[in-house]
């Protein structure tokens, strides 16, 4: 048998039909659903009299619109259209008989945090969701990617997706990360190298010592941003850490089924002689704590760097970089570590897990948020929130002057009331620094949770290593 990559193996195991022209139907094991990209899909089913083919494999949770303030059950800040969208998900989940975690459920949270937490996401699966950050689930060695609403409807109706196979890219991070450097810095460093279109047409497998050393939380952070590099999906081969994370989760297999699953999962790795269309190797020790300076996730630099000038780029990037500098209110040559911020946002499907909160708490312990800085921590799920309270992290955040919120997507995309005002500058642990992403005219700098915590204390972009 010819050697295969991990992606090849998962693909082959889910190929339900292949037409003569190479168009394939890929079977979908898990379909995650949230309130923003699904109402039109359910409406489409209703109009055509179709059912959900596999409701037992379909899991819904509202996350994008929900207020994260403590009064959210009757928050007056929730707009009517947001309420309609969340109510539509309630109704659709009931009517079509799919698994559902309503806002009132402690397990509610960001769909990409809830899936793994509840054991819905397991190695070797195909996982889709009408959300580009579905790539997160690739951390388990499952093939996971975002789809559009028409495809959501297609998966609801047929449990398959029409696909053409992507190419294979290996991204190897060799050696060990330096002190203060995290999974977030790895994934940003990769995008800095490939650019936001470098991964287009590929599924990336992340490997190497630095990846193996990461916890499952860290691996999810890395895979989460595969989409920002343009890749269809990011994957990490499952290992003992993966199995340990999955064991005992509510929807993970038990007993003999667990043993059978484990036997298959252990075959899920890229064969030694597998063919790669593209290989990128980065030395872990070359990665420093990173921040973005512009309005594309590829605009990354070490915190010790200076803001670049537009003419240091070539082609279409010159105009784009100038536009970004103007939008961000930055001047070429300015040290990034002197850029003053107004707001700190810690959370999102990129960095809203317990390990991220621990990293922030480590920096914030016994410290205070600088006067005038708005700072909020939004845990990724109700269970992450509960665990952080149990571990005493919530007290550290509150003592430091952070708002301690309920779970949701919140200011990552500002569909709920948490938004930046024009020109308000935010140190954010989320995944996109696009124009207007966190609010019209808002200025986003992406970074790790530790870096965001450090910025909250000093009121400017800060090298976290100076505070460790």
User: Binders of another protein among 99-128, rule CB under 8 A?
Assistant: 122, 124-125
Q: Which residue of 103, 291, 369, 414 would you call a contact of another protein, by CB under 8 A?
A: 414
d(CA 58, CA 314): 46
Q: Which residues contact 386 (CB under 8 A, 6 or more apart)?
A: 106
Does 131 sit near another protein (CB under 8 A)?
yes
Task: Please check whether residue 58 is in contact with residue 99, taking contact to mean a CB–CB distance below 8 angstroms.
Answer: yes
What minimum distance in Å lies between the beta carbon of 155 and another protein?
10
Is the dihedral angle over the CA atoms 437, 438, 443, 449 positive or is it negative? negative
d(CA 380, CA 388): 11
Does 57 sit near another protein (CB under 8 A)?
yes
d(CA 12, CA 364): 47
Stretch that binds another protein, among 10-18, 275-283, 380-388, 397-405 (CB under 8 A): 10-18
Does 276 sit near another protein (CB under 8 A)?
no
Q: Which residue of 165, 175, 358, 434 would you call a contact of another protein, by CB under 8 A?
A: 434
Does 157 sit near another protein (CB under 8 A)?
yes
Does 421 sit near another protein (CB under 8 A)?
no
Q: Which residue of 159, 292, 381, 430 would you call a contact of another protein, by CB under 8 A?
A: 159
288-327 residues in contact with another protein (CB under 8 A) are 296, 315-317, 319-320, 323
In the complex with another protein, which residue's Cβ is closer, 306 or 320?
320
Helix axes 39-48, 80-96, angle to 10 degrees: 50
Q: Which residue of 51, 94, 331, 440 would you call a contact of another protein, by CB under 8 A?
A: 440
Here the tokens at position 397 are: 């955040």
- If you write DSSP's letter for every residue of 131-190 in order, what string do you get? SGGGGGGGGGT-EEEE--HHHHHHHHHHSEEEE-PPEEEEEEEES-PPTT--HHHHHHHH
Here the tokens at position 464 are: 């976290």
What minimum distance in Å lies between the beta carbon of 132 and another protein?
4
In the complex with another protein, which residue's Cβ is closer, 46 or 398?
46
Task: Please check whether residue 352 is in contact with residue 379, taking contact to mean a CB–CB distance below 8 angstroms.
Answer: yes
329-388 residues in contact with another protein (CB under 8 A) are none
Does 424 sit near another protein (CB under 8 A)?
no
Stretch that binds another protein, among 99-107, 273-281, 284-292, 410-418 (CB under 8 A): 410-418
Does 428 sit near another protein (CB under 8 A)?
no
Helix (H) or strand (E) holding 457: helix 449-458
Q: Which residue of 73, 106, 162, 421 would you call a contact of another protein, by CB under 8 A?
A: 162
Residue 81: CB atoms within 10 A of its CB come to 10
Does 437 sit near another protein (CB under 8 A)?
yes
Q: Which residue of 181, 261, 411, 455 would you call a contact of another protein, by CB under 8 A?
A: 261
Q: How many residues form the binding site for another protein (CB under 8 A)?
A: 77
Phi, psi of 137, rounded to the nearest 5 degrees: -70, -10
In the complex with another protein, which residue's Cβ is closer, 2 or 48?
48
Task: Please check whether residue 58 is in contact with residue 251, taking contact to mean a CB–CB distance below 8 angstroms.
Answer: no
197-236 residues in contact with another protein (CB under 8 A) are 197, 200-201, 230, 232
3-class SS of residue 206 = strand
Label residue 443 exposed, middle or buried (CB < 10 Å: 0-12, 13-18, 19+).
buried
In the complex with another protein, which residue's Cβ is closer, 412 or 457?
412
Does 39 sit near another protein (CB under 8 A)?
yes
Q: Which residue of 55, 102, 175, 253 would you call a contact of another protein, by CB under 8 A?
A: 253
Does 79 sit near another protein (CB under 8 A)?
yes
Q: In 3D, which of 240, 11, 21 has the Cα closest to residue 145?
A: 11
Does 248 sit near another protein (CB under 8 A)?
no
d(CA 350, CA 96): 30
Q: Which residue of 5, 160, 168, 348 would you call a contact of another protein, by CB under 8 A?
A: 160
What minimum distance in Å lies between the beta carbon of 181 and another protein?
26
């Amino acid at each position: 048998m010819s050697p295969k990559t991990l992606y090849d193996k998962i693909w082959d195991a889910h190929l339900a039909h292949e037409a003569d022209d190479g168009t394939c139907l890929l079977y979908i094991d898990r379909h995650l659903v949230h309130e923003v990209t699904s109402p039109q899909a359910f409406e489409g089913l209703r109009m055509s009299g179709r059912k959900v083919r596999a409701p037992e494999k379909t899991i819904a949770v509202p996350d994008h619109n929900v207020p994260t303030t403590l009064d959210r059950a009757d928050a007056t800040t929730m707009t009517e259209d947001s309420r309609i969208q969340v109510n539509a998900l309630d109704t659709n989940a009931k009517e079509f008989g799919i698994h559902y975690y309503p806002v009132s459920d402690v397990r509610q949270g960001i769909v990409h945090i809830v899936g793994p937490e509840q054991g819905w996401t397991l190695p070797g699966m195909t996982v889709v969701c009408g959300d580009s950050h579905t790539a997160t689930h690739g951390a388990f060695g499952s093939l996971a990617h975002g789809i559009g609403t028409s495809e959501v409807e297609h998966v609801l109706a047929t449990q398959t997706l029409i696909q053409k196979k992507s190419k294979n890219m290996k991204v190897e991070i060799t050696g060990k990360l330096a002190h203060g450097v995290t999974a977030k810095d790895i994934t940003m460093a990769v995008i800095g190298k490939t650019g936001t279109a470098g991964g287009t047409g590929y599924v990336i497998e992340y490997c190497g010592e630095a990846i193996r050393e990461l916890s499952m939380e860290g691996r999810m952070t890395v895979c989460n941003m595969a989409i920002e590099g343009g890749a269809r999906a990011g994957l990490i081969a499952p290992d003992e850490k993966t199995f340990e994370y999955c064991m005992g989760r509510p929807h993970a297999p038990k007993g003999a089924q667990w043993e059978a699953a484990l036997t298959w999962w252990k075959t899920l790795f890229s064969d030694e002689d597998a063919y790669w269309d593209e290989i990128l190797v980065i030395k872990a020790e070359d990665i420093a704590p990173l921040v973005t300076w512009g309005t594309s996730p590829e605009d990354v630099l070490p915190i010790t760097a200076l803001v670049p000038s537009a003419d240091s780029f070539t082609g279409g990037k010159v105009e784009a970089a100038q536009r970004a500098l103007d939008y961000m209110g930055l001047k070429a040559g300015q040290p990034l570590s002197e850029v003053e911020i107004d707001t700190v946002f810690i959370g999102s499907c990129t960095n809203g897990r317990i390990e991220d909160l621990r990293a922030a708490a480590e920096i914030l312990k016994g410290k205070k948020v600088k006067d005038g800085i708005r700072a909020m921590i939004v845990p990724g799920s109700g269970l992450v929130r509960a665990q952080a309270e149990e571990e005493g992290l919530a007290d550290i955040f509150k003592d430091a002057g952070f708002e301690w919120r309920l779970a949701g997507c919140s200011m990552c995309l500002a569909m709920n009331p948490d938004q930046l005002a024009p020109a308000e500058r935010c140190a954010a642990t989320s995944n996109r620094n696009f124009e207007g992403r966190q609010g019209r005219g808002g200025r986003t700098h992406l970074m790790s949770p530790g870096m965001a915590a450090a910025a909250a204390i000093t009121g400017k972009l800060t090298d976290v290593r100076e505070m460790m």
